[in-house]
Structure 1
Amino acid sequence: MAFDKYSIAGSVILYNSNMQVIKNIHSYIDQINHLFVIDNSEKVNYELVEKIKMISNITYIYNGSNLGVAYALNQAANMAIRFGYQFLLTMDDDTYFPSDGIQKMLAYVNQHGIEKLGIIASQCNPQLFDNTVRIVPYTITSGNLLNLSAYKECGHFMNELFIDSVDHEYCFRLKKYGYTITEINSIQLDHKLGKQKQVKILGYRLPIYWGSHNPLRIYYKTRNGIFSIKKYELVSLETKYIFFKEILKDFFKIIFLENKKKVRLLLFIKGLHDGWKANLGKRTFKM
């Protein structure tokens, strides 16, 4: 365990998580000083929690309900700061982290310094796995090393977003304050993005897959994406194009691929409206 001169805490957010999270935690627990496990589940999975508590250097916190990704990230970041850590490794419960991930991240820090470093990110897209390092406009939460000095300057994750684009909005804010988001493509995550579904025609399965989210996630994804790119003037046209392309893809998936088309379409449209008007917060809908 080589920390050099830096101290690193980690966080993982549970939400109705299964036993796979134990294997995932073991993939990075020996690379960090301490792990904060934040449980946003509606009910405690006592068997899972007991196994988690058997792992050393862990603090487990149960929130009693789903308070959102942003709230849990802020809990972990603030505790890490309180205990004097300089970095926070942020992980999703379904992500397996490579054994040399932190070593590569710290090598980059040692080479380039910490002053304007906001986030060092891993890579979850197999098409981008290589040995390059690049500055990116945004990244996902899982597999990130967050500079807590930058967090103290830029402020907390937006609780009002609840879930989805919490990471994107924060990356845009880091950039506004002059911090960089660096992606190390050789740190290759095993990470799942949404539930995978397969195209079926007349009962036959075709070799065509797509990522699917439940209707409520479609609402948050659409709303928070629109809000985030509208909020910051610094967002490039290229980034806006990528966001709008993703929104358009979701629309066509609803029309041609998904079930529950009516409720998905209504929440998609509601997300567009609320994102543009900045109507944020946790939402419940009858479905």
Structure 2
Amino acid sequence: MLVAGIVTYNPDINRLAENLESISSQVDRIIVVDNGSTEWDSIAATVEHYSALSVRNATNLGIASALNQMATKALELGAKWLLTLDQDSVCSEGLVADYEKHVGETDVASMTCHITDRSFSYEEVPTEFVDFCITSGNYIDLSEWKRIGGFDEKLFIDKVDTDYCYRLRLDGKKILNVPTSGILHEVGKGTREHCFLGKKFVVFNHSAFRVYYITRNQVYVARKHRVTLGSARYYRCVRTAWTRIFVYLFYEKDKLAKLRQWIRGLRDGYAMAID
């Protein structure tokens, strides 16, 4: 049983249909978990057109919770692995078949692929194994998902994939980078590349809402995995959360709102209890 899952929250319906179209012929079932979208009728009609299963949450429970719901449903269907996708990602032909060739390889509990972003270009270094991968296009071993306790729902949205990868590796598992064309992905429509003193960096223009979770979870995940990271990497991770404020203030809109949420995120990131 081959299963793919998509988490939705007020998606672009045409893009969602494109996503479903690209994966429908590659798997036996598709699970769509919606996190309280306002235009549910349009989503439901699109999902039904592709004979996908749907789980509708009355409110936004966060991506971690939705992923756990999806994985639970996939296990109930008899799946051993699950392909997780964002609502705006489009899979290349044969992606799942390429992943399936590597199922059973020693200690591999997660697979990723080449990601092409709609918003900006970047050079990806081809390596056999990677330390981290994003949620979209991730093929996860459901027995390992269950073993390590699923995705951390305290995170709600950002760094959910980073934390999961840390815990996989802590359990002695590997993340395989499969050399396939993979998925067409979009980080955010406001994403832009900038250059300062010859150094390129990306400005995402996330909402103030996202700035809070990005900041909070950057600190929380670094604290949670401090022993694994070691002192030097821990401080680099925390420093990223602190220094990002300069990007918000000099390159993004809604500076005051983002400043407030950045401060709030730092405070809560240090205050959150580590399980």
**Cα distance, 1:235 vs. partner?**
2.6
Question: Equivalent residue of 2:101, what SS?
Answer: helix
Aligned residue identity for 1:105: Y
The match for 1:117 among 97, 108, 120 is 108
Q: Please name the residue that 1:22 is paired with.
A: 17
Aligned residue identity for 1:27: S
Is this contact kept in 1: 2:190–2:206, CA < 8 A? no
Aligned residue identity for 1:267: Q
Question: Equivalent residue of 1:35, what SS?
Answer: strand
Is this contact kept in 2: 1:122–1:189, CA < 8 A? yes
CA distance in 2, matches of 1:238, 1:181: 23
Q: Please name the residue that 1:193 is paired with.
A: 187
CA distance in 1, matches of 2:218, 2:230: 14
The match for 2:214 among 203, 221, 225 is 221
Is this contact kept in 1: 2:137–2:182, CA < 8 A? no
Distance 1:120 1:107, change over 3 A: same
Is this contact kept in 1: 2:134–2:162, CA < 8 A? yes
If the length of structure 1 is used for normalisation, what is the TM-score? 0.82
**Cα distance, 1:192 vs. partner?**
0.9
The match for 1:136 among 126, 130, 133 is 130
- Structure 2: 5+ residue runs without aligned partners? 194-200
**Cα distance, 1:274 vs. partner?**
1.3
Q: Please name the residue that 1:247 is paired with.
A: 241
**Cα distance, 1:43 vs. partner?**
2.2
Asked whether 1:171 is paired with 2:165, we answer yes
Asked whether 1:278 is paired with 2:269, we answer no
Q: Please name the residue that 1:66 is paired with.
A: 60
**Cα distance, 1:159 vs. partner?**
1.2
Is this contact kept in 1: 2:216–2:266, CA < 8 A? yes
Aligned residue identity for 1:276: Y
Asked whether 1:230 is paired with 2:212, we answer no
- Structure 1: 5+ residue runs without aligned partners? 1-6, 200-207, 281-287
Aligned length in residues: 262
The match for 2:141 among 128, 147, 150 is 147
Is this contact kept in 1: 2:90–2:185, CA < 8 A? yes
The match for 1:158 among 131, 152, 157 is 152
Aligned residue identity for 2:114: Q
Distance 1:180 1:198, change over 3 A: closer
Q: Please name the residue that 2:40 is paired with.
A: 45
Distance 1:277 1:33, change over 3 A: same
**Cα distance, 1:245 vs. partner?**
6.3
Q: Percent identity, please.
A: 28
Aligned residue identity for 1:134: E
Question: Equivalent residue of 1:212, what SS?
Answer: coil
RMSD: 2.5
Distance 1:209 1:234, change over 3 A: closer
Aligned residue identity for 2:270: W
Is this contact kept in 1: 2:219–2:266, CA < 8 A? yes
Q: Which moved more, 1:43-52 or 1:259-268?
A: 43-52
Asked whether 1:55 is paired with 2:50, we answer yes
Is this contact kept in 2: 1:196–1:209, CA < 8 A? no
